[in-house]
Chain A
Amino acid sequence: MKHLLSAADLSRDEAVLILDTAAELAAVTDRSVKKLPTLRGLTVVNLFFEDSTRTRISFEVAAKRLSADVINFAAKGSSVSKGESLKDTALTLEAMGADAVVIRHQASGAPHRLATSGWIGGSVVNAGDGTHEHPTQALLDAFTLRRHLRDGAGDLAGLRVAIVGDILHSRVARSNVLLLQTLGADVTLIAPPTLMPFGVESWPCRFSYDIDAVLPDVDAVMMLRVQAERMQAAYFPSSLEYSRMYGLDSRRMAMLPEHAIVMHPGPMNRGMEISADVADSPRAVMVEQVTNGVNVRMAVLYLLLGGRQEETR
């Protein structure tokens, strides 16, 4: 594996290997000296064309714990905001010797362009592209699901997961559908019809417009951020109506089976897709998702770059 562009790039065994590796690396996170020498001498560039403090920091911590040199290249306050093209930015990073580029970009497919255009020689990790994919988010979600519901081992065969919210614009949903399906889980997407992607019927999952009908039969529910601005474009009439019909409040949480967990990729819109008492309840695993994000990203960087470091020695 040279790049991680899409969750669809991962076979079941590759995905499980990443999760197993993340579990091993999690042990490091628990030590007092949280550092491994694995990627010493390698350079990881965080190339962020979109603001995302949490994802960038997660990748930065992951790379640093593996002793890689980290360069943060944010679009704001850089040459990118002066109109430099993706190509020239890539050529610059290549000239500086980037071994891996972690890219977040507002345009769907930008990581593919970076990986296939010949502009750079290093590995490309998709840290979220437009409304396309966010594969490391799906990996950390799978890791979290496995830890809570599958004793932290193997795949997710038979696990029932509902993903609720703005599926249409969600790269998290796309990557999760692909990855969770690869791992054997049974995914149901829930959204008003206006926020469901065109052609969802042919996706490898179920879909429903009725959250109440689905919740009693799932092992986990993943709530997605819904931007209130969507109502300006007539996706739904009001925030109130959205939260009444699709928001997760304590009444709905009570419909979930006893063992089911509540997830959210963050940042949350409290009062919109999730109520404060649900967000703060013991069933909500958002804080743990963040921790798992670091471990999973360490595993991805390790598996993409570990071999490369052997070569340089």
Chain B
Amino acid sequence: MSATVLRGVRPYGEDPVDIVIADGVIVDLVAPGSGDGEVIDADGLIALPGFVDVHTHLREPGREDAETVRTGSQAAALGGFTCVHAMANTSPVADTAGVVEQVWRLGQEAGLVDVRPVGAVTVGLEGQRMAELGAMAESAARVRMFSDDGKCVHDAVLMRRALEYVKAFDGVVAQHAQEPRLTENAQMNEGELSGRLGLAGWPAVAEEAIIARDVLLAQHVGSRLHVCHVSTAGSVEVVRWAKSKGINVTAEVTPHHLLLTEELVATYDPIYKVNPPLRRAEDVEALRAALADGTIDAIATDHAPHPREDKDCEWAAAAMGMLGLETAFSIALDTMVRPGLLSWRELAQRMSAAPARIGRVATQGHDLVVGAVANIAVVDPSASRVVSGADLASKSSNTPYAGMELPGRVVHTLFAGTPTVRDGALA
């Protein structure tokens, strides 16, 4: 196989080099202009390890009107991702080896990113009986992450057993932390604004109480816990405390929780309806600080496509969720790198190495060194663009950033050495 050369690229924003790639692996890092092979011009651009998302909704099987594994993979590649974890809340639910293998195979066929299915913790996400976690782990999909995302595993005994059970195959339970009784019919963050808008509140304590319980359970049974979409300052404090006690917990934050605040809900435009809800500016500050100091390990998109009719309605009737794959890098650049909260190497940790480690994906999250699998995102931080839902590759267009000018652009994406995106378009 002939070599590919990323010419003049700056790994982690450092000195320019030619990255030489052959057989899907980085084989050489040489002086710019000296690499031999098919050249991809990347002069002055920044190379980062391909992004890994531990939280993506690809909607297939069941809601192919919103997204498919193929369109979601396209959106991921355009966002600089080389691996996504497909959440289990499909129809049918990904709670058997059969369904996770189907999703995994669809990912292979699309061939744009590693599609790693997440298995449901409980049968049908019902929170009643444990799903066949072992069968999913042993299937061709090699599932390591299990989550009832969209719903909380609120039964303490079931959560304890799941945490224990996954130890047999080095799995992790990714908890959607939401105490169900405290959030019945909840529409937005509970606070002064929810009272004024007359929308039922989703109190921070409903997230924090579950995280507190679960880190203590993880400590008690000596297992590994991952916390999905941390959204409050209080949750950050709980996770920080747990890590200080040596509890094996990791946490993710979404791009939208790093940027947007609850004030947007005052428009009653359901494009801003998401679960967990947009929170206060103080929460956004705490989440950025926690991502900077490593309390929060990873950025995860919670990419949640919805068809138009599910947002083109009154607030209470609308679906919760927003697109994230194609804008994640820009938000990370805007909220973390530009203000100096993360260096490029640290951003690579948060968007690639840490999530790959959480999902136990051996072929992802490598440093850009000789011998590493060539999963690479090449980005231009000086570019900018005005977001438009219609321009996105996702089958849905429910982006909260429509009309906003966001910095940065993903120029090329290489998946195991093969360009999936060149010059900002699918290769």
Least CB separation from A171: chain B residue: B198
Q: Is the CB of B195 within 8 A of A107?
A: no
CB distance from B187 to the nearest CB of A (A): 8
Q: Is the CB of A109 within 8 A of B315?
A: yes
- B-contacting residues, A83-124, CB 8 Å: 85-87, 105-110, 112-113, 116-117
Q: Is the CB of A116 within 8 A of B198?
A: no
Q: Complex formed: what's the CA distance from A236 to B224 in Å?
A: 41
- A-contacting residues, B289-335, CB 8 Å: 309, 312-317
Choose from A86, A108, A202, A203 the contact partner of B198 (Cβ within 8 Å).
Answer: A108
Q: Complex formed: what's the CA distance from A151 to B250 in Å?
A: 67
Q: Is the CB of A174 within 8 A of B196?
A: yes
Q: Is the CB of A198 within 8 A of B192?
A: yes
Q: Does A297 contact B (CB under 8 A)?
A: no
Q: Is the CB of B192 within 8 A of A202?
A: yes
Least CB separation from A132: chain B residue: B198
Q: Total contacts A to B, CB within 8 angstroms? A: 77
Q: Does B194 contact A (CB under 8 A)?
A: yes
Q: Complex formed: what's the CA distance from A110 to B315 in Å?
A: 7
- Also in contact, A198 and B197, with CB within 8 A (given A86-B313, A87-B312, A113-B315): no
Q: Does B201 contact A (CB under 8 A)?
A: yes
- Also in contact, A174 and B198, with CB within 8 A (given A113-B314, A130-B316): yes
Q: Does B268 contact A (CB under 8 A)?
A: yes
Per-residue A-contact encoding for B180-201, CB less than 8 Å = 1, 0 else:
0000000100111111111111
Q: Complex formed: what's the CA distance from A117 to B195 in Å?
A: 24
Q: Is the CB of B194 within 8 A of A129?
A: no
- Also in contact, A107 and B312, with CB within 8 A (given A116-B267, A198-B191, A199-B191): no
- B-contacting residues, A126-145, CB 8 Å: 129-133
Q: Is the CB of A85 within 8 A of B198?
A: no
- CB-CB under 8 A from A199, the residues of chain B are 191-196
Q: Complex formed: what's the CA distance from A203 to B193 in Å?
A: 10
Q: Is the CB of B201 within 8 A of A129?
A: no
Q: Does A197 contact B (CB under 8 A)?
A: yes
Q: Is the CB of A200 within 8 A of B195?
A: yes
Least CB separation from A109: chain B residue: B268
Q: Is the CB of B194 within 8 A of A113?
A: no
Choose from A107, A168, A200, A202 the contact partner of B314 (Cβ within 8 Å).
Answer: A107
- CB-CB under 8 A from A133, the residues of chain B are 198
Q: Complex formed: what's the CA distance from A203 to B192 in Å?
A: 8
- CB-CB under 8 A from A108, the residues of chain B are 187, 197-199, 268, 315-316
Least CB separation from B312: chain A residue: A87
Q: Is the CB of A112 within 8 A of B192?
A: no
Q: Complex formed: what's the CA distance from A306 to B326 in Å?
A: 49
Q: Complex formed: what's the CA distance from A87 to B316 in Å?
A: 14
- B-contacting residues, A189-219, CB 8 Å: 197-200, 202-203
Per-residue B-contact encoding for A210-250, CB less than 8 Å = 1, 0 else:
00000000000000000000000000000000000000000
Q: Is the CB of B195 within 8 A of A87?
A: no
Choose from B187, B195, B269 the contact partner of A197 (Cβ within 8 Å).
Answer: B195
Q: Complex formed: what's the CA distance from A109 to B201 in Å?
A: 15
- CB-CB under 8 A from B193, the residues of chain A are 199
Least CB separation from A5: chain B residue: B268
Q: Complex formed: what's the CA distance from A197 to B187 in Å?
A: 15
Q: Is the CB of B191 within 8 A of A129?
A: no
- CB-CB under 8 A from A107, the residues of chain B are 314-317
- B-contacting residues, A269-297, CB 8 Å: none
CB distance from B180 to the nearest CB of A (A): 14
Q: Is the CB of A131 within 8 A of B313?
A: no
Q: Complex formed: what's the CA distance from A85 to B312 in Å?
A: 9
CB distance from B19 to the nearest CB of A (A): 49
Q: Complex formed: what's the CA distance from A199 to B197 in Å?
A: 12
Least CB separation from B309: chain A residue: A85
Q: Is the CB of B198 within 8 A of A129?
A: yes
Residue among B195, B203, B267, B312 with most chain A CB within 10 A: B195
- CB-CB under 8 A from A202, the residues of chain B are 192
A–B Cβ pairs within 8 angstroms, 11 of them: A109-B314, A112-B268, A113-B314, A113-B315, A117-B312, A130-B316, A132-B198, A174-B196, A198-B192, A199-B193, A199-B194
**4 closest residue pairs by CB, A with B:** A199-B192, A109-B268, A132-B198, A197-B195
Given A109-B314, A112-B267, A116-B267, 10 additional A-B pairs, CB 8 A: A85-B312, A86-B314, A108-B198, A109-B197, A109-B315, A110-B314, A131-B199, A199-B194, A199-B196, A203-B196
Taking beta carbons and an 8 Å cutoff, which residues of B are in contact with A?
Answer: 187, 190-201, 203, 267-269, 309, 312-317
